[in-house]
Amino acid sequence: MRMSQLFTRTSKETCCDDVSRNAQFLTRAGFVDKLMAGVYSYLPLGLRVLNHIEGIIREEMNALGAQEILMPALQPKELWDQTKRWETVDVLFRFKGRGDRELTLGPTHEEVVTPLVTRFVRSYRDLPVAAYQIQTKFRNEARAKSGVLRGREFRMKDLYSFHASQDDLDQFYERAVGAYQNVFSRCGLGHQTLLTYASGGVFSKFSHEFQTLTPYGEDTVYRVPGRDVAINKEIVHEEGVLKDVANGKAIEDLEEVKAIEVGNIFKLSTRFTDAFSYQTPIIMH
């Protein structure tokens, strides 16, 4: 398509209420159009870029051995009750459908993918299984200020893997880290994106974020000298973290930089398979 045929136009003006630099530039260039806070239309040029990025992600996920699926965005309250997250996840869009059935628009899909996959897994011999999707997510963020990266409606790839043993999960986890790094490298962000150690919550000692360096980022991370590895500021005061990640260096020896989270990966253990009372132990990532 020729530029002269595009119905969209570039603009010199920046929407006064868009604090995100990505939203400002993409809007001015005619790639996206803001409908309301945290919600954007992808215009022809923006959609071409989005499709290309999704194509790269698909290739890397397929190379990892994951199978693509597409799950419903509409989810019933009953699934979230089973995992006890209906009341605790504060970004859920909650509403009632016909018959007063309580529903939500999916901000994530652990509640859907776990019973889905375990319906077909008869024993440990059917494992491991890895499934992913690329889908629009919905999160009722209190203040959507990250542009197209994470608003109230945004595109996300989520990958879920199921394993019969911790060792098998650990091996797949490392391969998944490599697949994500390949994605960012192919998108031109390889040297700017740090594997960042963050809180692992109740499931593991650490989770890992992929943080891309930018002076406009909202996160502060400490980069380990000479490595594309960092520690999220939120955990650097936890006991042992500098010893484990930074070879015992002091916090003063690390480089404090601004970054924005573009992905994350974590081990879920049996948190969700236990919630759905699946008898065969299945460990999730």
Secondary structure of 26-93 in HEC code, one letter for each residue: HHHCCCEEEEECCEEEECHHHHHHHHHHHHHHHHHHHHCCCEECCCCCEEEHHHHHHCCCCCCCCCCE
pLDDT digits (tens, 9 = 90+) for 207-236: 999 999 999 888 999 999 989 999 999 998
pLDDT band at 149 (very low <50, low <70, confident <90, very high): confident
Residue 108 pLDDT: 95
Percent of the chain with pLDDT strictly greater than 70: 96
Residue, of 14 and 169, whose pLDDT is higher: 169
pLDDT digits (tens, 9 = 90+) for 179-216: 999 999 999 999 999 999 998 876 678 899 999 999 98
Domains and CATH numbers, the chain: 37-284 (3.30.930.10)
Strands of the sheet with 153-163, listed across from one edge: 67-68, 129-138, 153-163, 283-284
Q: How many CA atoms lie within 13 A of 237 on its CB side?
A: 2
pLDDT digits (tens, 9 = 90+) for 87-121: 999 999 999 999 999 999 999 999 999 999 999 99
What is the reported pTM? 0.92
Contact 157, 133 (CB under 8 A): yes
Mean predicted confidence (pLDDT) in 67-82: 98
